[in-house]
Structure 1
Amino acid sequence: MNKDIKNIGIIGAGIMGTGIVQIAIQSQHHVYLYDAQQGAAQKAQSKLQDTFNTLLQKNKISQAQLEEALAYLHIVENIEQLQQCDLIIEAIVEKLVVKQALMKQLEAIVDPQTIMASNTSSLSITAIASECQYPERVAGYHFFNPVPLMKVVEVIQGLHTQPEILEQLADLAQKMGHRPVHTKDTPGFIINHAGRAYGTEALKILSENTASISEIDEILKTSLGFKMGPFELLDLTGLDISHPVMESIYTQYYQEPRYRPNVLTQQMLTGKKLGRKTGQGFYRYLNQKKQEIASTPRYVANRNGIKKVWLHTEFKDDFERLSQYLSQQYILINHEAKPTANDLIIIASYGEDATHSALRLGVNPEQVVCIDMLGNFEQSRTLMPSLVTRQKLIEAALHIFTQAECKTFVIEESLGFITQRVLAMIVNLACDMAQQQIASVDDINEAVKLGLGYPHGPIEWGDLVGREKILHILERISTISNDPRYRPSPWLQRRCKLNLSLMYHA
């Protein structure tokens, strides 16, 4: 099975199949496109012609390249005409029995050396190959929509898949201009698995009434650099797609608490508030354009005569940054062991709410405002008062930390703020994936950056913000809440205890 892949059969002329055809013919591979629905393959051919014409108009390709690419595409009328192919990629409906039947049918047609691959996004490769006589030649080859722009493909090893096949598929992906990432045959593979933490934790935060939908989205975009907030993303994808995936991965992992779905998305799904496609989801949409949510600020920034702050931080870098900032704002810092009754108490806390911070330090919770120092301090600041913090002190803190070039938010009490909880869960989940050897650390990082558009890979992100801070957040939330979803990964714990980078692997 080590010969070069030159002739590729693609079954399914939908969006995914057509996208795979495009990158295959542009990389000078002969493609034989088949679809059981009469006329579907011809429509895909016409669509590709239009796509190439658009690329030509934008000077992305030449006329010669257009003609050459289309010359590599061959429409076939019956499945038996795929017998000469070195590789067959199926991109048909996501139903296990249908894919199993197709694989069994192909075995009677193609050469015993032909590789058979599935573009499945959620089904087990082992299960798809289970009805085959030669399951060792069946692998997963999961592309992302739109295929030409999403430059990553998951190369998935079923229980019986031969390693040489995986190398051939990885080599082909590179020739087609895509980054191959190797993964075991586990629920969600790499990208859909790693992506669970972002949406599910944001939903948990929303269900606790920590902040509004738009505030959570804005905080995560401005503080951590996400291109889209979790609720914007859920609306774009559609809850008819997102919620079943959440439930599927939760069920396939036998109710692992890390993947626990939220009742809110089930209610919205039942009520057909699916997102952009229905005009209403977490936001309202008019002609596919999001309508901004009007809100009245609960607090008005006001110095209120506050001149002195008692400051507590748990990490040296936080103290240096806050001290410098307060000095620039002409705010004095009380360096005594205990604050006075008139001080505004600022605590840079991790993994706890303002109440727990105040009680841990033995200070008056009526004077406490916590600040999140995990994200981009220059772009976004989140403040958290306790249930009993005096309003004039909240307004004073808001005044001190509000600047024209950054956004400042005041949220309700939460164990670990919003940025801390979401990022800690993203890092922790990826560390667990590395612990299980679902994929290599490098492949997890690259897959998430390319497939989900995160500004950093999740494991390298832990190192960037401080792995000890991530562990601290998880340990505190886990201890206070007794919720096993926050238990720290052994992968993370060991590297923190040994003062090793999260990227380290023996």
Structure 2
Amino acid sequence: MIIGIIGSGAMGAGIAQVVATAGHTVRLLDQNAEALQRASQSIETNLRKLTEKGKLTAAAAEAALARLHPTGAIQQFTDCELVLEAVVEDLAVKQQLFRELESIVSADCVLASNTSSLSVTAIAAACQHPERFIGIHFFNPAPLMQLVEVIPAIQTKAGLATEVRDLVASWGKLPVLAKDTPGFIVNRVARPFYGEAIRILEEGLADMATIDWALTELGGFRMGPFTLMDFIGHDVNYRVTESVFTAFFFDPRYKPSFTQKRLFEAGYYGRKAGRGFYSYAPDAVLPEPNRDAALGYTILHRVLAMLINEAADALALNVASRDDLELAMTKGVNYPKGLLAWADELGIAEVLDMLDNLYAEYHEDRYRASALLRRMVRERQHFFI
């Protein structure tokens, strides 16, 4: 199978490495010759490291490199059977790209976008044959992250999502099917991990270090929310939050915070800028958390209740299946447990009480409980047990 990748940035290069290693001929397109050269060198370096670690044979690495064909000409895509773009997150740019691409590729070529925040349906609408269009969302870095979200547009022909899911699985990835709604699975369900942590900070209930400590030491998350936002970069994380909020018609559950917006406006993007919620200057000393267990569990359970509520609502609205929701959050953002299984463990009635208490205190729609949780408590149901 010949696969075209458009865009040779970190994501495009990573996807090209994945599919070339899986045995496909890859045409990697970028009109910036320097960027294309950097991508080729990056892929070669990564394959060499995998060989040195014993994760790939030298012969397999050589074969993967031989299957990689960098190009600056989109006309080289005439024989591609699948084309996946990984260019800037701009709807107009993507739409124009696929308009041009349709005049070059064959009628049987599947067209796909790696968008993480735009409507797959809106991109597909620019195509003369939107029935062959689909979203294939990798997570960065693509060679390391197992999860891939497969998102059919409403125009996507029946059966294509299943074919693409099987193809992605053959690349050694873990694909999940998601409805074309804002944020798909991961970027939707994960919003409270950041938003509720910031809200707790803004209210002065705990400082950043204490909140991070509660989520990592008591909750088992690999990174606390403030450390993670600084790691992702506020130029990325804030924009995703703002995008999801706008796409959901300004639903208060996804409302961005002024605290993070000010960091974004100041250019304090996190680690890459040397400053974010924390300072990353060479002489910086990280603040010590308040390790009071009672406080810590109050913080953890408040954030968890919001995350579980979002996962339950996604399930209720058929954004994804129960198992795909659990897989997405454990493999896409490395949560220590699936949120629905965690709800069973904590007790769905207890989670609902937490949410109802928050709503009673604040009277804000961000704390409204999912109707699914309320029904499950009433009918004494569980997600798994």
TM-score by length of 1: 0.73
Of the three residues 275, 280, 285, the one matched with 2:280 is 285
Separation in 2 of the partners of 1:494 and 1:290? 49
Contact conserved, 1:223 with 1:381, CA < 8 A, in 2? no
Does the alignment pair 1:257 with 2:168? no
1: distance between equivalents of 2:215 and 2:79? Answer: 51
State the alpha-carbon separation in 2 of the partners of residues 177 and 470 from structure 1: 36
Residue 38 of structure 2 aligns with which residue? Answer: 43
For residues 109 and 272 of structure 1, the distance between their equivalents in structure 2, rounded to whole angstroms, comes to: 41
Distance 2:381 2:219 in 1: 23
Q: In the alignment, which residue of structure 1 is the partner of 2:371?
A: 490
Alpha-carbon distance between aligned partners in 2 of 1:205 and 1:382, rounded to the nearest angstrom: 16
Please name the residue that 2:308 is paired with: 427
Paired residue type of 1:221:
T
CA distance in 1, matches of 2:288, 2:172: 44
The answer to whether the aligner puts 1:25 opposite 2:20 as a matched pair is: yes
Find 2:115's aligned residue among 116, 120, 126.
Answer: 120
Q: AA paired with 2:184?
A: F
The corresponding residue for 1:312 is none
1:229 aligns with 2:140: no
AA partner of residue 45 (structure 1): S
Distance 1:421 1:291 in 2: 28
- 1:383 corresponding residue in structure 2: 294
Q: Which of the pair is proportionally richer in helix?
A: 2
Q: In the alignment, is the contact (CA less than 8 A) between 2:268 and 2:275 conserved in 1?
A: yes
Where does residue 342 of structure 2 map in the other structure?
A: 461
1:75 Cα shift? 2.6
- Tell me the residue number matched to 1:368: none
Could you give the per-residue CA deviations for residues 395-422 of structure 1, whole angstroms, max 9, x where no partner exists? xxxxxxxxxxxxxx6xxxxxx9311210
Which residue, 146, 154, 162 being the options, matches 2:149?
154
| Matched residue, 1:78 | 73
- Closer, same or farther in 2 for the Cα pair 1:284/1:42, shift >3 Å? closer
Moved >4 Å (runs of 4+) = none
Amino acid at match of 1:281: G
Structure 1 distance, partners of 2:267, 2:89, is: 22
| Residue 290 of structure 1: how far off its partner (Å) | 6.7
The SS at the match of 2:293 is strand
Counterpart check, 1:88 vs 2:80: no
Specify the alignment match of 1:502 in structure 2: 383
- On the 8 A contact 2:8/2:28 being kept in 1, the answer is yes
Q: Closer, same or farther in 2 for the Cα pair 1:204/1:77, shift >3 Å?
A: closer
Q: Deviation at 1:273?
A: 2.3
Q: Name the amino acid aligned to 2:208.
A: I
1:444 is displaced (CA, Å) by: 0.9
SS of structure 1 residue aligned to 2:167: helix
Counterpart residue type for residue 471 of structure 1: L
Question: Of the candidates 361, 368, 384, which is equivalent to residue 480 of structure 1?
Answer: 361
Task: Give the conservation status (yes or no) of the 8 Å contact 1:283–1:291.
Answer: no
* 1:270 Cα deviation from its structure 2 partner: 2.1
Deviation string, structure 1 residues 179-217 (Cα, Å, up to 9, x no partner): 111111111111111110100000111111001110111
**Partner in structure 2 of residue 302 of structure 1:** none
Whole-Å separation in 2 of the counterparts to 1:460 and 1:163: 31
| One-letter code aligned to 2:286 | E
Alignment partner, residue 202 of structure 2: 207
Q: Deviations over 1:127-164 (max 9, x none)?
A: 11112111111110000111011001110111201132
With over 3 angstroms needed to count, the CA separation of the structure-2 counterparts of 1:180 and 1:78, relative to structure 1, is: same
Equivalent residues of 2:311, 2:339 under 8 A apart: yes
Maintained 8 Å contact 1:441/1:503: no
Give yes or no for the alignment of 1:107 onto 2:116. Answer: no
Q: How does 1:385-404 map to 2 (within 5 A)?
A: none
Distance in 2, matches of 1:44 and 1:270, equals: 30
Which has the larger Rg? Answer: 1
| Unaligned runs of at least 5 residues, structure 1 | 1-5, 298-379, 385-408, 410-415
Q: Distance in 2 between matches of 1:444 and 1:383?
A: 30
Shift of 1:224: 0.9
User: Cα RMSD over matched residues?
Assistant: 1.8
Q: Is the 8 A contact 1:89 1:119 kept in 2?
A: yes
Given that 1:492 and 1:502 are in contact with CA atoms closer than 8 Å, whether structure 2 keeps it comes out as no
CA distance in 1, matches of 2:195, 2:140: 22
Question: Contact 2:268/2:276 (CA < 8 Å) preserved in 1?
Answer: yes
Deviation at 1:294, TM superposition (A): 5.1
CA contact (8 A) 2:242 2:256 kept: yes
The equivalent of 1:443 in structure 2 is 324
The offset of 1:274, in angstroms, is 2.1
Give the aligned length: 385
**Partner of 2:149: helix, strand, or coil?**
strand
Q: Following the alignment from structure 2 to structure 1, what is the Cα–Cα distance between the partners of residues 9 and 365? A: 41
Q: Aligned equivalents of 2:208 and 2:37: distance in 1?
A: 44
Structure 1 residue matching 2:148: 3-state secondary structure? strand
Q: Distance in 2 between matches of 1:290 and 1:221?
A: 21
Match of 2:190 in 1: 195
Task: Give 5+ residue unaligned stretches, structure 2.
Answer: none
2:29 pairs with 1:34: yes
Q: Which amino acid aligns with 2:347?
A: G
The one-letter amino acid of 1:131's match is A
2:233 is aligned with what amino acid?
G
SS of 2:107's equivalent?
coil
Percent of aligned pairs with the same amino acid:
40
Task: Report the TM-score when normalising by structure 2.
Answer: 0.96
